[in-house]
Structure 1
Amino acid sequence: MSLSTADVQKVARLARLAMNDTEIEAARTQLSGIFELIAEMQAVDTTGIQPMSHAQDLSQRLREDRVTEDNQRELFQRIAPQVEDGLYLVPQVIE
């Protein structure tokens, strides 16, 4: 798929980019190359190939899920400016 100069100008306008004619032509060439690469990749027959999350067969090392800090809720509630029924009260910011 090849882009026209008008296509690139439209995209630049939508992206709020100020581009001169030289930059538009360079962007058109680069974007056209990207779309050609995408078309090449879409042309490859991938039926029967399992999707994979990584190019190498790696597994994530897992650690034991355990509590590493004490519950400090009461301490935080004591030093909070306003608390009611265990909830922090904050001033209204939207009228």
Structure 2
Amino acid sequence: MAENLDREQVQHVAELAKLSFTDAELDHFVPQLEEIIDLFNQLAEVDTEQVKPMTTATDEVNVLREDEAVKSSEEMRQALLANAPETEDGLIKVPAILDESEDGE
């Protein structure tokens, strides 16, 4: 078992991740995290000295189609806008992700 893992450490990591757990949830998660750490410790003991690094799981190459611009019809445009959660002036409206105000608020 992971000997050094305790509730306070799990609570601290949860807070760093902006998560909050009840005492019952902590009682449930601490043993699970100990098992996960034990699995990583087991993996660390495996001798991989002679194993070639693997960069992909298969030898397949990218088989995507060429990206080609096509002129859409007004019907296609309206169908797209009809599926958008929110539109404005014929465009899809999305939440702002950058704050460009000078005061940073």
The TM-score range, normalised by the shorter chain, is 0.5 to 0.7
Matches within 5 A, 1:52-91: 52-55=54-57, 57-62=58-63, 68-69=68-69
Q: Which runs of 5+ in 1 are unaligned?
A: 71-92
1:21–1:50 CA distance, 2 compared to 1 (3 A): same
Residue 45 of structure 1 corresponds to which residue in structure 2?
Answer: 47
TM-score (norm 2): 0.52
- How many residues were matched structurally? 71
RMSD across aligned positions (CA): 2.7
Q: Distance in 2 between matches of 1:63 and 1:33?
A: 40
Deviation sequence 1:45-88 (CA, Å, 0-9, x none): 00011011344x422155797x8448xxxxxxxxxxxxxxxxxx
Higher RCO (CA < 8 A, seq sep 6+): 1
Between Structure 1 and Structure 2, whose CA radius of gyration is higher?
Answer: 1
